[in-house]
Amino acid sequence: MTRPTRRRVLHGVSTGTVVLGTAAWTRTRDRGTSTATAAAGDDVTALEDAATDALEVSIRETNAPVGAGEYLDVTAEIENTSASNVRTDVDLLVGEDRTQLSRITTTVEAGETHTMTLGFYTYPVPTDDEFPIRVAVEGDAANEMVSVVGASFLSDGSPDPSETVSVQPDTTVMFEAVPVDPDESQQTVWWVDGEQVGALGGPWQWEYLQETGAHFAQESFETPGTHDVAVAILPHDREETYTLHWEVEVTNGGWHAPTVEALQPALGTVPARGDEITFELEASDPATSLERVVWWLTQADVIVGTSDLSGTRDTAQLTTDSTCHTCHVVPWVICADGTVAELDGEWQLEMVEDDDDNGDEQPGPTLDLSIRHADSPVDAGEYLEVIVDIENTGSEIGEDVLELVVGHDPEVLDTQEIIVEPGETGAATLGFETYPTRQDEEFPVRVVGADDTVQTTVQVFSR
């Protein structure tokens, strides 16, 4: 992979989603069939009859009403009234056409009642809406009406949500949504053509929000015709939800992505000695106006600079001393119409030592960190442990207090004192108890020392 840490929020795992107020409902995979367990020699008809007659299902509770875009929890109880264990599919069906959004296969022991929670992200409709949900097992089903509170429209987004975005097939468009308060804890969920395509933001989404104050997503449209893109912004500490919607027309007469050419250095491996390095590119787009370049440093997952562009042809430079071994410098060239492009190649940094350095030890202690292991994914509420390796590359004893910094709103949740002899290695274990969230979460975890900082992304699955 040329960009191993590149996150594309609109190209992820699609989970169950419903578009309220329309006839379009999203698709999910059928992951199994229902069976019942019985003694060897029983015929198929007897097994099916046993499953059909044995189970009774009810909806115990939901968290409705929820703000449009938020996750709707549905808690169901399945009672096995027979003397045999029964294995069954539990389906969550939504809407008048009963579209399947979730399926869990489970075994309910004889005479027992099994409780489970299913759910899905609701579509960010701008008005209040109500629709039916149904939980179905072999031979029984329970129904309930639920409602959502319409999301408020945000005032700032790019491209302009009030105008149709017209692009050629296979052109990538960058969508941006400016939240009411970029500093508060929040989550975004994206949809394309009514199908949820992203709900877990990674380090690049978090970094972009911190640097620019906007959430982003990129999508390439292959099929000609009209497409819809929507985002829900869900603040964690307020009930109101927010949304933006774009209409995209894919046609051979639409805009195309800008062209980008590297001027210096040449694409390929770039020696890095700790001094400043200058990167320069030329961008052109005769059909529209160039706007800016966002310069990324992969692996570190940070924006190292932005450059303003203007007109239909312009050059941009980045001079930086931010380097890391094997990292890539990735520029995004963005136009006023939202089209975006990258270099057709890569700049990869390679750390090298000066010839007169002779590999001598660095004076004083230098503690280099690397993450050996992180317990990810874990279930919500469980303890998540991070193991970090420490190497003292200096000539003196190194003492430090490592901090475990967690989340999109960084919070120190653990510390560990370390002492490492010169030329030696060590390890430290830090951890924290995850929050008992009702929806899957993904967030950064950093181990911070005086000389080095390392980061990874972890996942917590809802129970």
Cβ–Cβ under 8 Å, residues 383 and 433: yes
- Domain membership of residue 177 (yes or no) is yes
**3 band by pLDDT with thresholds 50, 70 and 90:** very low
| Strands 242-250 and 152-153, sheet pairing | parallel
Task: Please check whether residues 122 and 47 belong to one and the same domain.
Answer: yes
pTM: 0.70
Q: Are residue 158 and residue 63 in the same domain, yes or no?
A: no
Give CA–CA dist 17/55, Å, rounded: 27
77: left (phi over 0), alpha (psi -120 to 50) or beta: beta
Q: What is the mean pLDDT of residues 277-288?
A: 92
Is 218 contained in some domain? yes
Which residue in this structure is represented by tokens 């280099």? 368
What's the pLDDT score for residue 296? 95
CATH of the domain at 336: 2.60.40
Radius of gyration from C-alpha coordinates of the chain? 26
Question: Which region, left, alpha or beta, applies to residue 212 given φ > 0 means left and ψ of -120 to 50 means alpha?
Answer: alpha
Mean pLDDT of 11-16: 32
Residues 21 and 138 in one domain: yes
Assigned domain for 3 exists: no
Same domain, 230 and 188: yes
Answer positive or negative: Cα dihedral of 193, 195, 199, 200: negative
Q: Give domain status of residue 46, yes or no.
A: yes
Whether the per-residue pLDDT at 52 is higher than 90: the answer is no
What is the Cα–Cα distance from 307 to 261, expressed in whole angstroms?
15
| Number of domains comprising the chain | 4
Q: What is the CATH number of the domain that holds 123?
A: 2.60.40.3880
- Regarding whether 388 and 270 lie in a shared domain, the answer is no
Give the domain range for residue 156: 152-250
Mean pLDDT of 439-458: 87
| pLDDT for res 128 | 96
- Residue 2 in domain: no
Write out pLDDT tens, residues 102-134: 899 999 999 999 999 999 999 999 999 999 999
* 65 prior amide bond cis, ω within 30: yes
Query: Does a structural domain hold residue 357?
Result: no
In this structure, are 265 and 244 located in the same domain?
no
* Mean pLDDT value across the chain: 85
Please indicate, yes or no, whether residues 234 and 315 belong to a single structural domain of this protein: no
Judge if 49 and 125 occupy the same domain: yes
Whether residue 123 lies inside any domain: the answer is yes
**pLDDT tens digits along 155-195:** 999 999 999 999 999 999 999 999 999 988 889 999 999 99
CA distance 318 to 330: 11
Same domain as 159, residue 141: no
Two tokens at 95? 């809407």
Between 50 and 54, name the one with better pLDDT. Answer: 54
Q: How far is CA 251 from CA 160, 247, 257, in A?
A: 19, 13, 13
**194/159 same-domain check:** yes
Q: Do residue 269 and residue 329 come from a single domain?
A: yes
Task: Give residue-wise pLDDT tens across range 293-313.
Answer: 999 998 888 999 999 999 999
pLDDT at 411: 87
360 Cβ contact list (under 8 Å, min separation 6): none
In a domain, 360, yes or no: no
- Assess whether pLDDT exceeds 70 at residue 337: yes
CA angle 334, 339, 344 (to 5 degrees): 75
Rounded mean pLDDT, 381-406: 91
Whichever domain contains 410, its CATH number is 2.60.40.10
Considering the domain architecture, whether residues 24 and 145 belong to the same structural domain is answered as yes
